[in-house]
Structure 1
């Protein structure tokens, strides 16, 4: 159910092969969710400018059912910004992350919603 999506102006060949797997693991631990439900997507080669500069930058969104909130988001932001900086070379002042806490009825899975599955 958690989904971390990052769009970046980095070319595909600058995204490490194991980046998605690393983020899935970190995301699952940070949110306290099973890895089997975590999704990470990277959209490289985006025509993007941050503050008028085309230096490496990105825009990201973390959607989850629960596990988000003012204090939790500070923890998630720290972990995700550090990982992106270390793995992709995008500094924390060249990216935004939006946090999106979705109710169970707004996320579909297996032909229904998480609300129907988990109540």
Structure 2
């Protein structure tokens, strides 16, 4: 459970850092630039913590998938990035891939005898 908490913090921090990256305007705005550094340092630190208990393939799929989907939605909502059927299908495929990887990992863990 601690691994998933660390993964959640990592995802939130990565989304924060990426949002600050947009606001930094090429690192020309000081406070958003500091936010980028802060967000990504926390994101990678927490990602490394979660890897103590969560397999790399699953953790990275969840981290990048949710981060990508949330960042795309933030772009649409805050900066009027284009959003159409292709974008929606892409987001559904990303989220579906994360679900399949998670289900695959859970099925493999259930099949292994506990020691």
Structure 1 and Structure 2 fold alike (TM over 0.5): no
- In terms of fraction of residues, the more helix-rich structure is 2
Higher strand share: 1
Is the radius of gyration larger for structure 1 or structure 2? 2
Q: Provide the TM-score with structure 2 as the length reference.
A: 0.29
Relative contact order higher in (CA < 8 Å, ≥ 6 apart): 1
TM-score (norm 1): 0.28
